[in-house]
Amino acid sequence: MEGIRPLLVEAYFSSLQGGDFAVEIDLKLIRNTLVVKISGELDLLVSEKLRREIDSKIQSQQVKNLVLNLEKVSFIDSSGLGVIIGRYKRMNAGNGRMYIVGASPAVEKILIFSGINKLVPLYRSEQDIINI
């Protein structure tokens, strides 16, 4: 047990550096497009928070389109994918559009594996969407 404890402590503190304790969600409405910048790990805990914040904004503002900026997202799992799919359905139901920008190679791999990229286009940056 003595030999294991330092490993566990180190693992715990390294998880804090990029984990949900460091998550930030920034929402900005530009005309009728909600731009959501997320930083941290998009897992079960963060997904719930993200879902609530986006839905609250959609309900209170005139949001037609949604842009998820994942430049600072270091991890995503199926909980994060679930939030993305749920928001896509919501935008689609209102004839709006949704885009994902800035996914890292590791995050993009998960998005492509799940097939989400066939529903929600992936772009390198927000500038690329403006140029559409």
What is the binding site for another protein (CB under 8 A)? 4, 7-8, 10-12, 14-15, 19-20, 41, 43-45, 48, 75, 77-79, 81-82, 85-86, 106, 110, 113-114
- Six-digit token string for 45: 């805990």
Q: Phi/psi at 57 (nearest 5 deg)?
A: -70, -40
12 vs 32, which CB is nearer to another protein? 12
100 vs 129, which CB is nearer to another protein? 100
Smallest separation (angstroms) from another protein to the CB of 1: 10
82 vs 121, which CB is nearer to another protein? 82
Residue found under tokens 């500038």? 127
Smallest separation (angstroms) from another protein to the CB of 117: 14
Smallest separation (angstroms) from another protein to the CB of 42: 10
64 vs 82, which CB is nearer to another protein? 82
